Amino acid sequence: MGTRGSPLALAQAHEVRQRLADAHGLAAERFAIRVIKTSGDAIQDRPLYEAGGKGLFTKEIEIALLAGEIDLAVHSAKDVPTFLPDDLWLSSWLPREDPRDVFLSLKATALADLPAGAVVGSSSPRRRALIARLRPDLKLASIRGNVETRMRKLENGEADATILALAGLKRLGLQGKANEILDPHTFLPAAGQGAIAIETRRADERANALVAAIDDRDTEVAVAAERGFLALLDGSCRTPIAAHCIVEGERIRFRGMIITPDGREAFEAAREGARGEAAALGADAAQEVRAQAGEKFFTLFAGA
């Protein structure tokens, strides 16, 4: 299996490996892990949206998958572009971890407690826009890097606070570092946040059968709605987009939002429906927010 080499990516790959081993009664060592360096890992000096967007964390891994050098790829779902190469598909999903964001700071216990003028470090357009919407009196700084790097930047004083995904902290055993779990009603997560996706070749019956044994259908349904929303709204790293779907038995509840970078305007839509309609409900919500925002909203990102 192919994966990025960050501590979080490796933790995710090892989780996939253990689940496959347990499902098939095999030793975990039967599933080899190959680390592949991606463009996104190499670019640390500027935000991803300035360097080409989402596929930067998947392109090299997908090239290896298409070439037959690996049999499956393990991704954070929020890093995967909405449109994949024709011969590849997201064939399996692990049970989703908590999708919420968390606030980390050495100077305040909650986002609301930061003093005016404090610096929050984040390169995510969604997080930056939501922070600006909730706390327009704060300053924003662009910081990149893996979880450990961003936490170290707080210790070095490069920022007073940062926002990270709770799922990543939990997978690294660092959830105790979080000061506050942010309410998704006011700080809506990214599409796919907390979900691990497994990508395989469509024609590879052996790999597809292996990973089918560990597929979590509820996660697949939820992320289908969120990615359906993304697909009609650019869904690159440039646009501040948030989306979250909750699966409750045979029904789903979905909420999606787009925000101007300065946080002053937000357009959102909610849907409820049957789980079998997940992708269509997400797309329908996207049509609504697109109509609310008007094409002027999207000209903000044209050619960005």
Name the average pLDDT for the chain: 93
pLDDT digits (tens, 9 = 90+) for 183-211: 999 999 999 999 999 999 999 999 999 99
pTM exceeds 0.75 for this model: yes
pLDDT for the residue 7: 93
Helix (H, G, I), strand (E, B) or coil at 113: helix
| Active-site residue identified among 71, 79, 160, 204 | 79
Rounded Cα distance, 231 and 225, in Å: 10
Instruction: Report, as an integer, the average pLDDT of 17-35.
Output: 98
Task: Judge contact between 122 and 131, C-beta under 8 A.
Answer: yes
pLDDT band for position 56 (cuts 50, 70, 90): confident
Active-site residue 79, yes or no? yes
pLDDT for the residue 254: 99
pLDDT band for position 304 (cuts 50, 70, 90): very low
Nearest to 150 by CA among 160, 135, 136: 160
Tokens of 134: 């909730």
Neighbours of 137 (CB within 10 A): 10
Rounded Cα distance, 247 and 254, in Å: 9
Provide Rg for the chain, Cα atoms: 19
| Structural domains of the chain, ranges and CATH numbers in brackets | 1-95+194-215 (3.40.190.10), 101-181 (3.40.190.10), 217-304 (3.30.160.40)
Judge whether residue 244 has pLDDT over 70. Answer: yes
pLDDT digits (tens, 9 = 90+) for 246-276: 999 999 999 999 999 999 999 999 999 999 9
Strand 161-165 relative to strand 88-93: parallel, antiparallel, unpaired?
unpaired
Which residues, in sequence order, are CB contacts of 215 under 8 Å at separation 6+?
91, 92, 93
Q: In degrees, to the nearest 5, what angle opens at C-alpha 52 toward C-alphas 47 and 56?
A: 85
